[in-house]
Amino acid sequence: MMSGCYQKFFKYFINNKKLLFKYTILSCIVGVLELFGVALTYPFINKLLTGSSKYSLIFGTLIIVAFLAKNLFMIFYNSLQVKFTKNCETQISLKFMHYFLNGNYQDICRIPFAQKQQILTYLIPNSINNYLIRILNLYVNFFIFGLITAFLFIKFFKATVITLICSFIMLSAQYIFFKNKTRQIATEINDIGEETNRICNEALLNLKNVKIMNGEEYFFNKYSQNFNILKDLTGRLLFYNTIPPYVTEPFIIILLAILLSIITLDTFSNPASLVASYAVIVTAIFRLAPTLSRIQVNLTSLQSTLPLVRKLVEYYEACNISASLTAKTSDKQTLNQSLELRNISFSYKDKPVLKNISFKINKGEFIGIAGISGAGKTTLADIISGLLIPQSGDILIDNSSISHPNLKIGYIPQEYTIISASIRENVAFGNTNIDDNKVIDALKKAALYDYIQTNFPDGIYSKPFVDGRGFSQGQKQRLAIARALYPDPDIIILDEATSSLDLKTEDEICNVLNLLKGNKTIIAIAHRLSTLKSADRIIFMKEAEIIDIAPFDELLYSNSDFRNLAELNSSNLIH
């Protein structure tokens, strides 16, 4: 199971396989330098005891040089390792972010925001830092352990066999003991962390409702409960990760005593050789002890990280990230005459949302879409904007059939985002090469430019949103209209854009729409029917179907459902 996850991890996330191979070679070099330092101890002590001061000085110098070179090389290796892992983390994060921005809209919307946040801010960095780095560390330490034990095997066969057997038993026992514990805890940490993020987002993104409904204590208690569970789990995991060195240390002391006893029996008749052998063994154990400890810590950490890696691999496969990395075409279609939908149907999880929808919109028309909640209005707008692909039916632009539209759309949602930047950056939302003339023109059409010039000395370069103040609700709505107008769209879609406005502000926005009428094709989804009084036609929907299409007054007279909806909206609606 681990090998399969390991292979997928490197297949999906480690693009530079040649560089990874180079790290393997560098690990060998570190091991060789470590081996030289240990191996040269024997001739150094031997020559020292036999009176060959010249040779002992040479060997002593070589030992110092070997260990210094090894340490300097390890510093260099670690700097490369950090750079490599951070590059991998960046590439993985960018792949997922690219998918979240460019992937299929319907698929992306199925992923909760808390889960997206968990992937980008927790899953990816922890998978890389606690998995890839651990693997690279294991490479180095396995080479050091292997080369030193190979030398000891040649020099002290019996003692080395005992060392290997005991080391294997110790590592295996600890690995088995920690394996299930750390995996289970890591899985729980990921699940609880995702749940904690979700609670945090629900509370902070709906702060107004939370305070109005006196829900502060409810959300705080839920967050506190999950955070305390997360604290306990991460504490347990950290505790398990600190145990291996304390288990390894007494084992090494016992092993050292056994090895020295065996060597003493074998070389007792040759004092110089005995002392030199002691020196080699002590030096080898001195180097092997931290190596064994690091191997055990890395193995334990790998087990605790494996559930995160497996989760990341599952997300990568479920999202089909590889397929989403193809460049998105920026070529937009132009609406010259009309947009027509014929027998369009769409379902969410086998529940029909649109049933055989057919209508035609001529360029420059102001079309309203009305109906009670759940009638399919927003889904219809998403299909027109190209966000959703209908499951059946035909879409025609200028009488030519297409799979789904890719028109220049200006979108004004009910909940719009004001970014902490200048007015011009808010208008040109998402555009890097900003045309100030287009910004000013859009603000003028939205009837907001004069207010900006009068109240802000820096004009469109002002930043009134950094502290969350500066614009009223109605002015922010005008800014949203200017944002929709900036790319000079063929169609402007308003999705319940006036539902949260007071009547005066709504009337001002309707006046702006009336000025745009005829110049832009306007599609307005509205629960508040007063917004649609100036529409050329209104598409009235009920239970996923179009019930009627007619001007406002005609629908008011001929359609009882529409009339009832209008009466529910406002007693002042009909004049």
CATH code 1.20.1560.10 region(s) in the chain? 2-324
Per-residue pLDDT tens for 535-548?
899 999 888 888 88
**401 pLDDT tier (thresholds 50, 70, 90):** confident
Provide φ and ψ at 52, rounded to 5°.
-85, 80
- In contact, 295 and 138? CB cutoff 8 Å: yes
- CA Rg value for the chain: 35
CATH code 3.40.50.300 region(s) in the chain? 338-569
Give me the pLDDT at residue 440, please.
92
Q: What is the mean pLDDT of residues 268-285?
A: 68
d(CA 138, CA 131): 10
Report the candidate in 306, 305, 312 with the shortest Cα–Cα distance to residue 95. 312
Dihedral (CA of 6, 7, 13, 17) sign = positive
Per-residue pLDDT tens for 200-250?
877 877 776 777 667 778 788 888 888 888 888 878 877 777 776 666 667
d(CA 301, CA 242): 10
Phi-psi region of 364 (alpha: psi -120 to 50; beta: other; left: phi over 0): left
pTM of the model: 0.71
Q: Which CATH architecture describes the domain 2-324?
A: Up-down Bundle (1.20)
With DSSP H G I counted as helix, E B as strand and the rest as coil, what are the percentages for the chain, rounded to 5? 65, 10, 20
Residue whose tokens read 């502000």: 505
**Which tokens hold the place of 111?**
């992923």
Q: For the domain with range 338-569, which CATH number is right: 3.40.50.620, 3.40.50.300, 3.30.450.20, 3.40.50.150?
A: 3.40.50.300
Give me the pLDDT at residue 317, please.
83
Give me the pLDDT at residue 374, please.
75
d(CA 540, CA 375): 9
Per-residue pLDDT tens for 32-70?
777 666 666 666 666 666 656 666 677 667 777 777 777
